[in-house]
Every structure is written in structure tokens, then in C-alpha cells.
């Protein structure tokens, strides 16, 4: 499945909330999301209107690795 091309940082943060991530702080235009499922894990999401595809791929790859799933499976689960 292709990555969404028009996803904002806020929309990504809401989608990651389905996996137990919650916003723990905001510094400028960046959100820090944390989950305690499967150990503590932090990810930083820029609050841009449209995330660059490489940035989105990197964030989703990091989250997928933490949860022990393939990135494609994670994309299907979140946007699918």
C-alpha cells in the first residue's frame, strides 16, 4: 500500500494514538509522542500541513520496528 501523500503531522499523531502513542510535549512545531507498550518509545512528528514522504516513511518505519511489524502492515492498519 502506498503512503498517504497529503497527511499532516496532526493527522499522523491522531493515527498513532490508535497504537498507544500520546503527545507528551510540543517544542515549537514538533510533537513528541510516547508509548509505553512493548517498552517506552519516543517519536518526533513535525506539525507540518503536509509531511514529506521521506519523513513519513522514516517515522512509520521507526514505529513499525518498535511494534515488531512490517511497515506495510502498519500502513494498512492505520490508513487502510
Q: Are 8 and 22 in contact (CB under 8 A)?
A: no
- Domain holding 71, by residue range, is 9-79
In a domain, 51, yes or no: yes
The pLDDT score that the predictor gives to residue 74 is: 96
Residue 41 lies in a domain: yes
Quote the pLDDT of residue 66.
96
> What's 42's domain CATH number?
3.30.920.30
pTM as predicted: 0.93
Q: From first to last of the 80 residues of the chain, give the pLDDT tens digit.
A: 799 999 999 999 999 999 999 999 999 999 999 999 989 999 999 999 999 999 999 999 999 999 999 999 999 999 98
Inside any domain, residue 31: yes
Q: Cα separation of 43 and 45, whole Å?
A: 7
3-state secondary structure of 61: helix
Amino acid at each position: 500500500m502506498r503512503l498517504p501523500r497529503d497527511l499532516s503531522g496532526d493527522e499522523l499523531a491522531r493515527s498513532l494514538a490508535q497504537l498507544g502513542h500520546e503527545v507528551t510535549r510540543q517544542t515549537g512545531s514538533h510533537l513528541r509522542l510516547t508509548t509505553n507498550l512493548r517498552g517506552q518509545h519516543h517519536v518526533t512528528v513535525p506539525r507540518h500541513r503536509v509531511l514529506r514522504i521521506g519523513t513519513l516513511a522514516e517515522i512509520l518505519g521507526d514505529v513499525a520496528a518498535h511494534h515488531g511489524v512490517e511497515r506495510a502492515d502498519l500502513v494498512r492498519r492505520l490508513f487502510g
